[in-house]
Structure 1
Amino acid sequence: MSYRHIKFAHLPVADQERALAFWRDRLGLEVALDQSYGGGWRWIELSIPGAQTRLLFTERAADAPKSEQPSLILVVDDVDAEAAALKARGVAFVEEPRAAPWSPGERYAMFEDSEGNRVLISSG
């Protein structure tokens, strides 16, 4: 196979402006692409500085159920330090940093974004 990387992962949102403000201003992602997509919707891709994979906002169906499972998993060097930094920027955690029962030595925490998506941060 000759795959090089994943271009983007999608994240369903109901309000693009609110989601953009959350991911850009609270998590520090950068706008890689923001253009009209038709029907009043925009094609917005965000990037993590230094990473190739981007995050794409897709339109959440009005009747989509809220999931308890993470929609996205972000790997960080230090879960406790990252959680503290995100809390200082107003990010609300639904699970505080703790040892991951599925992997000895790994830590994780989980927060919800502005759209109700659960996001897990993990050390591994």
Structure 2
Amino acid sequence: MNTTSMAVVRLSVEVITLPVSDVERVLRFYVDQVGFTLDVDYSPNDAFRVVQLTPPGSSCSIQIGRGLTDAPVGSLRNVYLVVTDLEAARSRLLERGVKVGEIRHKVPIDAWDGSFAPGLDPARRDYASFADFSDPDGNSWVLQERGYRNV
């Protein structure tokens, strides 16, 4: 028996690359409207640019740029941003000009079958309430509420 295969390997998602068409436009969207922090903007030549941005409180960043990915522009789908107060997060994004979908919650919660009802989960249970938005290129995000009762 190989004992090294029994060891726990720590895996950590640290960066997600988003395929975008206009780096400056998307950079402004994430910094000015969504509120991400600009960590890195590096371009050693015209063919390569990496811009790294981090959501407040997150250990995982996103990267946009040139020469980073050959994925189709706008093809990233349903990356989750977990928030403690979905109503407040949605309101803040709307105030900053982000088009955010209506809040919805899972139904029936205890035997969820993929259906949703409008509004927040009445009990504000973790992982039960959602809202969506997309960046200017169509990469999509899901806001999900967790920890509301622990705030």
The question of whether the paired residues in 1 share the 8 Å contact of 2:79 and 2:142 is answered with yes
CA distance in 2, matches of 1:12, 1:116: 10
- Stretches of structure 2 that go unaligned for 5 or more consecutive residues are 1-7, 111-124, 147-151
What TM-score does the superposition give when structure 2 sets the normalisation length? 0.68
Q: Give the % identical residues.
A: 28
Q: 2:141 aligns with which of 100, 119, 124?
A: 119
The structure with the largest strand share of the pair is 1
CA distance in 1, matches of 2:23, 2:78: 17
Q: Which residue of 2 aligns with 1:46?
A: 53
Question: Deviations 1:10-59 (Å, cap 9, x if unpaired)?
Answer: 11111100000000001111111110154444111111233221111155
> In the alignment, which residue of structure 1 is the partner of 2:18?
11
**TM-score when scaled to structure 1?**
0.80
Count of residues in correspondence between the two structures? 121
Counterparts of residues 1-124 of structure 1 (less than 5 Å) = 1-3=8-10, 5-59=12-66, 64=72, 70-93=77-100, 95-101=101-107, 105=125, 106-124=128-146
Deviations 1:44-92 (A, max 9, x none): 1111233221111155769x3765x834210011112211110111001
Give the gaps of 5 or more residues in structure 1: none
Rounded Cα–Cα distance in structure 2 between residues aligned with 1:66 and 1:56 = 13
